[in-house]
Amino acid sequence: EIVLTQSPGTLSLSPGERATLSCRASQSVSSSYLAWYQQKPGQAPRLLMYGASSRATGIPDRFSGSGSGTEFTLTITRLEPEDFAVYYCQQYGRSPFTFGQGTKLEI
């Protein structure tokens, strides 16, 4: 099983600042089958990024993803108030399709 470790656990920033979230895998993630999801309280997760660096439909370009192998990063430039949420990475290249424990982005 591929274990995903996200850091930091909580990130405290202000609107307009830049956020950098990390996801480290215990084994190489095949073909960069790495996704990022955003979840707000009381809502289902929403797909942000797939293939490590491709934005999902409707996701603004202030969100970007990078990385390969075992190290991946989600960057949010110019934080908007609606960006404060919990973010999860997931690998979907090999079953079980594991998630990271999440990073809470708070004001």
Partner 1 sequence: EVQLVESGGDLVQPGRSLRLSCAASGFTFDDYPMHWVRQAPGKGLEWVSGISWNGVNTAYADSVKGRFTISRDNSKNSLYLQMNSLRVEDTALYYCAKRDGAYDIWGQGTMVTVSS
Interface with partner 1, residue 45, by CB under 8 A: yes
Q: Enumerate long-range contacts of 49-54, CB under 8 Å, 24 or more apart.
A: 49/74
Shortest distance in whole angstroms from residue 34 CB to partner 1: 9
Measuring CA to CA, which residue among 77, 74, 55, 58 is closest to residue 66?
74
Judged by CB under 8 A, the chain residues 81 through 100 that form the site for partner 1 are 88, 90, 92, 95-100
Q: Does 101 bind partner 1 (CB under 8 A)?
A: yes
Binding site for partner 1 (CB under 8 A): 1, 33, 35, 37, 39, 44-47, 50-51, 56-57, 88, 90, 92, 95-102
